Amino acid sequence: MKCNLPKWTAQTCLIILLTVTLIASVTPTPEKLELILLIGQSNMAGRGELMNSSGDTNLNIWAMNAQNEWVVAKDPVHFDKPKAVGVGPGLAFAQELVRSRPNLEIGLIPCAVGGSGIDDWQPSSKHEQTGIYPYDVMLKRVRAAQKYGKIKAILWHQGESDSSPEKSKVYEAKLAAFFTRLRQDIKAPKTPILLGTLGDFYVNKNPNGQIINDIMTHYASTHKNVFVLASAGLTDKGDTTHFDAKSAQELGRRYAKKLLEIKVKK
């Protein structure tokens, strides 16, 4: 950059050059990101206490913000309920992957919506609690992200809202229909789908949660490139519904370890 204005000092020019260089250095490289789609309800969005976040940032880990712009990832990754969001599994998942593959560049696509049931994840369906159209917003965000890479994994944590005798009876059919549509719409026919089970603390409170866990386990066993991982032993934040920060992070690491050990089937 050449400074022709006489009032500009050499120091001013240096500051501008450094600013431009800094901005360029924190922009993700197009088509280089390994994209991770985060979907489900509040335990994917994250409700862990932010004071217990690691606070670490890594220029190899990005997340899309509410304006569908890339920012360096930090907790909270999600923004579905701004007053409630906290530590979730997404950032810890990405950190674990980067520890195993230091040159990896990850782009997190946060699309979970707290309180959403499986019926809310239909095209044109409005989630009444937030006013969000989860499926439609997700598609828009994914398509913006796909300019920078390919979807490498889909992380799903949802089911508390469907843990009733009536809803659990039809959950598997709706889950199957959802993922069939999702794969088609985001052009990810073989992308690994990872399903996290509901926490022990929730199942102890609501035994119908075990039905949801059994459905996810069965669905994973009968469909290619779908895998289930257990949240057994993790703890809640005192509300018997949401993972505390440390457990949310451990859940993220479990997602990452599962992804690292699987092989995609043709």
Could you give phi then psi for residue 71, rounded to 5 degrees?
A: -135, 155
| pTM for this predicted structure | 0.89
3-class state of residue 156 by DSSP: strand
Each residue's pLDDT tens digit, 226-249: 999 999 999 999 999 999 999 999
Across 45-72, average pLDDT? 92
Query: How high is the mean pLDDT of the chain?
Result: 91
- Lowest mean pLDDT of 4-18, 75-89, 139-153, 230-244, name the range: 4-18
- Strand duo 33-40 + 149-157: pairing: parallel
Question: For residue 5, what pLDDT is reported?
Answer: 41
- The mean pLDDT value for 70-85 works out to 97
What is the rounded CA–CA span in Å between residue 67 and residue 69? 5
Mean pLDDT of all residues in 101-119: 97
Burial degree of 238 (CB within 10 A; 0-12, 13-18, 19+): exposed
Q: Which amino acid does the sequence have at 111? A: C
Superfamily of domain covering 28-261:
SGNH hydrolase (3.40.50.1110)
> Which pLDDT score is estimated for 263?
72
Residue 30 — very low, low, confident or very high, per pLDDT cuts 50/70/90? low
Q: Which H/E stretch holds residue 195? A: strand 193-196
Q: What is the mean pLDDT of residues 34-49?
A: 98
3-class secondary structure per residue, 148-183: HEEEEEEEEECCHHHCCHHHHHCHHHHHHHHHHHHH
Q: Domain limits of the chain?
A: 28-261
Confidence of residue 69 (pLDDT cuts 50, 70, 90): very high
Check residue 102 and report its DSSP letter.
T
pLDDT at 264: 64
Q: What is the pLDDT of residues 188-208, one digit of tens each?
A: 999 999 999 999 999 999 999
H or E element that contains 136: helix 134-145
The pLDDT of 118-128, averaged and rounded, is: 98
- CA 164/CA 87 separation, integer angstroms: 27
Q: What is the pLDDT of residue 17?
A: 45
Query: Mean pLDDT across the stretch 88-102?
Result: 96
Q: What is the pLDDT of residue 52?
A: 81
Asked whether the predicted pLDDT for residue 13 surpasses 50, the reply is no
Q: 210-230 pLDDT, tens per residue?
A: 999 999 999 999 999 999 999
231 in Cβ contact with 195 (< 8 Å): no
